[in-house]
Amino acid sequence: MFAQNDKTFEKLNIEKGDLQSIVYSVCYDEFGNAWFATEDGLVRYNSKEAYFYNTYEGLPEGIGNRVFKVFNDSDNNLWIGTEKGLAKFNFNKNIFEEINDAKSKISKVNYIFEDTNKNIWIATNNGLWKIHKNKNKNEINSKQFLENYIISGITESDTKIIISTNKGLYTFRNDANTILETNLHLVSKNIKTASAIKKIQDNIYLGTKEGQLFKFNSELSNQQQIHFSEKQKGLTIRDIEFNTDRFTIAIDGEGLMILDENFNLVNHYYNDENNPKSISSNGVYDVYFGNDGIIWYATYGGGVNFRAPSKEIFKTFNHQINNKNSLDYNITRAILQVDQTIWFGTKKGISIYDLTSKKWKHLTNFPNTTAYSEEVILSLVRDGEYIWAGSYYHGLYRISIKSNKIETFNSIYPNQKINLNKIFKVFIDTDHDLWIGGIDGKLTQVTKEKVVEYKIQDIRDITQKSSNEIIAVGKEGVFIVNKLNERFSKIALLNPNKETLHYNTINCVLVEKDYLVLGTNGNGLVFYNWETKKINRLNSSNKINSNIIQGILKTDNEYWISTSKGISQIKFDSNDTIVKNFNKTDGLSSNEFNYGAYEKLADGNLVFGGIDGVTMFHPDHLKNRNVIPNLFFEEFYIDNQIVTDSKILKNHINELSSIQLQYNQNSFGLKFVGILQGYANKVKYIYKLEGFDKNWSEPSTKNQINYTNLSSGKYTLKVKASDELGKFASEKAIVIVISSPWYASFWAYIIYGVLIIAMIFGLVYLIKIFEIQKNKEEQIEFFNNITHEIKTPLAILLTTLEDKNNDENVRVKSNIERINALINQMLNFQKFSINNAPAIQVAKINLNDFITNIINDFKPLLEQKELTIEIQNNCIKELFYYDEDYLNKILFNLISNAIKYSFEKNKIIVTIDSNDKNSLLIKVKDFGIGIPKSAQKNILTKFFRAKNVMNNQFSGTGLGLMIVKNIVENSRGKITFKSSLNKGTIFKVVLPSFEKQYSESVIQTKELSEIEVSNEIHKYTDKKVLVVEDNDDLREYLVKTLENYFLVYEAKNGKEGLEFAHNIFPDLILTDFMMPIMDGLEMCIKIKEDINLNHIPIFMLTALHNTIHKKESTEIGVTEYIEKPINISFLLAKIISVFSWQENLREHYKHQTDINIAGKNKVTKENEFLIKLESIILDKIKDESFSLQDICDNIGMSRTSLYMKLKNLIDLSPQDFIIHVKLKHAKKLLIEGDSNIKEVAYASGFSNPKYFSTSFKKVFGLSPSEFVKNLK
């Protein structure tokens, strides 16, 4: 009977896909990939993932899926033999290619062999084949040998090839190229059923299908049958291997038999269903010793098994089902060596292992337990001939080492009661005092005389510092107990806190001369210096695998700690701290270990208990494997799709040194693996994409990387893989070139260069235009400011003369208006200079009267030069539909120029006529200096003046004709001229009629300025008007005029005006546009943003004829935009119109039947304000405690502001408004008819139905009952 516990067989489990259970052969390729020949194809295993090859993918269709042999030759060519032929692997294409003989097809392949001359020999069911690898083509051209024989195996001895066949052994002499039959007289006839043949050292070993093993010398002259067991008789020997002084015999039906050099059977490994460490099948077909120390086993029905001898240094104890001679329960909580036995405290009591006999004994019959309850043992300590055991449920037990009798502490010492049932630690000090700690009780000291309790709870570990000092650790920190005075103290520096020592509890403690070493749950390993009080830590940031430390053991120069993620070895030297981590991959029983379950044995072995059994090892036996992982590129991705296109990857990605990608293939990924069979989970990777990444990545087990949206260019992707110790091997690199798109090609850049040069020239040109435009705008701004200053005193003069109509004042007024017109001429330069000409305002014009009035204005100039103007009116229609202001400017400029440039004592002819298109034709002819031909092409441009004009010192700016041209073109007209030097000039203008676009509303504005002040003005004498004007004279005049009709207040600038508005709450604000400190526009913006003031109408006064300013004013809520000089009648009419509209709005609101007033209220903000106010009242309509102050708080206004705003908007006080809203709501409820009058009153917020009826009748003219009757 041979024990199997000293070896661990692991069955290979593949993460993705299932490995066929019938496996015939195993081998490595040059990269370390393991290849498995199976019943259903071939499998390549890169230590992390498996890739499958069959006739659907990777294998030739003609050779079938049943693969019997896989073989890697000395030149790293990979061969496979199947039931129907032979194939060789093409690494570039990642496929197998069939090998055929020109004369006949290879049948079932049994074996593949390479001789010393690098010839490949194929053993098949139809003879022996020899392949010369030096041939360029994969064709067999050599002679086929033993065509009618079944060849089972091949080996080589000296200069001859030894062949086992179904008819005996044959030899092939390379020098003679002949086959000879071997005469074996001493050997049984069964030699003809050879199943395996191998040369080992200088001998030939042959196994048969009957289980016989034979040994021959190299000349086959000395034969010997080896008898090693009776169990294999009648069973086929599938493989014979020799390694480290041991023969491994693979037997189909009996597993593995291990023989020493003297052919003694030293071990037999077979499948045991109750032992998870046993081999998974007794049908072993192939044994392969990898160059990395891993041993592989191909089995029939059990898949692939492997052994890692380096892992077997860790001896494990586990519970085996149906096997009493094993650990009784895997979860181990306490460990103690007692002589030549090891005691294990588990969740089912105590298991005792005899180190000598390898036998187990179990103690489960504890007092206070039943067949349905088991005792959990958490701590074990020896006291002479007894063992004290601390349990989780029933306190402390004493067990006799000799008899194994179990007694409770209280039954032994009835007078010394222990008040602690859940015991985590039992400790005996040098005075043989017993110390007990746990949860749900205090730290307890038991001496021969008494029991002492200390107010310390939640204890995990106890140890001794000196003869009189005991250290107890746990959830609350570290305590030192003085045995002499029975007092304790706490090391405050080691208290748990978030800033310095963040831990949940201390699981274990180790006392050293200079240090106190603590294993914490949450902060790793803590070192406390007794003398300096300094604290040092080692945790996951120092590469320890976990911050939860469960146990600490110290050897000569290193610490061994068990954690929640394995075991760590810690070494200190003068320069560095070296940490090496071990987990289940290395051979441990589990990754998670338990606190309290650790022990150092007398022979130096360390034992740690976990959740899945026990791990035991000797630190001196641990050796570094020094196996460097081979980095292998597996798959390449573009846009997260595996690339299979041969145009992109001409070969397999691992065989390439560079890849060329298109510009739109700039998001790619790479999957790689560091091949480390048996230890793949310990491999970590770093990578760097040169040309993109500045530094290497952080080490990680992630073996796939992705890059997205990379720019065109050349990149080098470098990857490194580490071994179990974290040591990184040399890098593997691949160059990735992303080509530029067509728009980034060489010729594209040439084109771009040309375009850039063109753009630079264009930009320079645009900058010049911009500078010109900027200069023009600065001129315009200058004109605006000057004209504003001029027009303000003109406005004062005109308004002063407004009501005085004697002849002298009429003449003065006429001349002032003429000056104003000239100033408007300057302003028109701005209107028509920056492409923002005002829209046409169509008016009905009597042409004869209109032209006559214009000519009359020029009488003084005509008389001065003794000129006459002749009007020729040939128009069929008396009226013309056009913009009156535009027509005035056209005629004024043309006639003015004709007068200016005519010779004295001459005439000017003005002709107006209609053409066929219903347009107006205007001709202005003079007899003057004319325009030189060289100047005629520029005469209609800005600021241009002909030389003859400047030489004769005629005044002018060159603006008039430009304005005429822009007006005519803006109205879709046409202007032309003819001129002869010193003979005169004719200007011809054609203007379209806008009769269809004519609107009475356009004329009303004109007519409004001429109306008399309405008698209605006296209704508004209580209205407050605020005048904001920086010019003292104009402000004084406006105040003096308007105070005849309203209550008038004045302010000098926008800031002062805003302060007045907050104090007096005016009904209307009249403000200038341009003012110091704060202009009118800024004041208007602030008013419209203020909920207390945004209902107030604002009139903007300005001397600037600026469309942009008008647009800005209108957008922010200015009610009217009035240009200077001011027509008082027009102004008063506008004010009356606004007040009248407000009054109509109030009346409408009072008599409306619903909440929505948007139809009548043309100011959106005021509409929203009233709707919001009504909504607040209706939401709280039944809440009698809801007051006016609550409404103000909700709306964000003071009571005064709310009062003034409501009075201005709807002429109701806040209280009247509340009642009005309630009554409207009541009216709505009555119309709906779902409630009686009394219910409606209460639902509308009236506590008195009688008061409700009175109020309802006062507002709506009917009582509620009458209103309801009328509804019917």
* Judgement on whether residues 1028 and 924 belong to the same structural domain of the protein: no
**Domain for residue 179, yes or no?**
no
Q: Which residue has the tokens 């304005």?
A: 963
Q: Does 830 have pLDDT greater than 60?
A: no
Question: What is the model's pLDDT at position 958?
Answer: 58
Q: Does 893 have pLDDT greater than 70?
A: yes
Separation of alpha carbons 578 and 580, rounded Å: 7
Q: Does 946 have pLDDT greater than 70?
A: no
pTM for the full predicted model: 0.61
* Judgement on whether residues 19 and 140 belong to the same structural domain of the protein: yes
pLDDT in tens, 1022-1062: 889 999 998 888 888 889 889 888 999 999 999 999 999 88
**Domain for residue 821, yes or no?**
no
Helices within 801-846 (DSSP H only): 807-831
* Judgement on whether residues 634 and 613 belong to the same structural domain of the protein: no
pLDDT in tens, 411-467: 888 888 888 999 999 999 999 999 999 998 999 999 988 999 999 999 999 999 999
**Domain for residue 1213, yes or no?**
yes
**Domain for residue 297, yes or no?**
no
Q: Does 361 have pLDDT greater than 50?
A: yes
- Confidence at 777, pLDDT banded by 50, 70, 90: low
- Confidence at 1173, pLDDT banded by 50, 70, 90: confident
* Judgement on whether residues 929 and 1071 belong to the same structural domain of the protein: no
Range(s) of the domain holding residue 52: 11-144
**Domain for residue 770, yes or no?**
no
Q: Does 961 have pLDDT greater than 70?
A: yes
Average of per-residue pLDDT across 990-997: 84
Separation of alpha carbons 962 and 975, rounded Å: 11
CATH of the domain at 1179: 1.10.10.60
pLDDT in tens, 254-305: 999 999 999 999 999 999 988 889 999 999 999 999 999 999 999 999 999 9
* Judgement on whether residues 988 and 856 belong to the same structural domain of the protein: yes
Judged by phi (left if over 0) then psi (alpha if -120 to 50, else beta), residue 436 lies in beta
**Is the bond into 1125 cis (omega within 30 degrees of 0)?**
yes
Average of per-residue pLDDT across 573-577: 83
Beta-bridge partner residues of 36: 26, 43
Query: Which range has the top average pLDDT, 759-763, 779-783, 1210-1214?
Result: 759-763
- Confidence at 918, pLDDT banded by 50, 70, 90: confident
CATH of the domain at 530: 2.130.10.10
* Judgement on whether residues 662 and 603 belong to the same structural domain of the protein: no
Which of 129, 144, 159 delimits the end of a domain? 144
Number of domain units in the chain: 6
Separation of alpha carbons 1073 and 1077, rounded Å: 12
* Judgement on whether residues 1124 and 1216 belong to the same structural domain of the protein: no
* Judgement on whether residues 1119 and 1157 belong to the same structural domain of the protein: no
- Confidence at 956, pLDDT banded by 50, 70, 90: low
Separation of alpha carbons 102 and 389, rounded Å: 80
Q: Does 804 have pLDDT greater than 60?
A: no
**Domain for residue 762, yes or no?**
no
* Judgement on whether residues 137 and 31 belong to the same structural domain of the protein: yes
Q: Does 376 have pLDDT greater than 90?
A: yes
Backbone angles phi, psi at 271, to 5 degrees: -75, 130
- Confidence at 618, pLDDT banded by 50, 70, 90: very high
**For 434, which DSSP code?**
E
* Judgement on whether residues 982 and 1083 belong to the same structural domain of the protein: no
Which of 996, 1028, 1052 delimits the end of a domain? 996
Q: Which residue has the tokens 């008038």?
A: 1048
- Confidence at 1008, pLDDT banded by 50, 70, 90: very low
**Domain for residue 547, yes or no?**
yes
Q: Does 816 have pLDDT greater than 70?
A: no
Average of per-residue pLDDT across 400-414: 91
CATH of the domain at 1055: 3.40.50.2300
* Judgement on whether residues 679 and 705 belong to the same structural domain of the protein: yes
Average of per-residue pLDDT across 762-766: 89
CATH of the domain at 911: 3.30.565.10
Separation of alpha carbons 513 and 506, rounded Å: 20
Separation of alpha carbons 707 and 689, rounded Å: 9
Judged by phi (left if over 0) then psi (alpha if -120 to 50, else beta), residue 344 lies in beta
Which of 109, 144, 179 delimits the end of a domain? 144
Is residue 28 within 8 Å of residue 34, measured between CB atoms? yes
Contacts of 882 (CB under 8 A, 6+ apart): 840, 842, 843, 845, 920, 971, 991, 993, 994
Question: What is the model's pLDDT at position 105?
Answer: 84
**For 58, which DSSP code?**
B
Q: Does 758 have pLDDT greater than 70?
A: yes
CATH of the domain at 694: 2.60.40.10
* Judgement on whether residues 1248 and 1114 belong to the same structural domain of the protein: no
Is residue 32 within 8 Å of residue 47, measured between CB atoms? yes
Task: Return the closest-CA partner of residue 877 out of 853, 910, 907, 845.
Answer: 845
**Domain for residue 1200, yes or no?**
yes
Question: What is the model's pLDDT at position 653?
Answer: 94
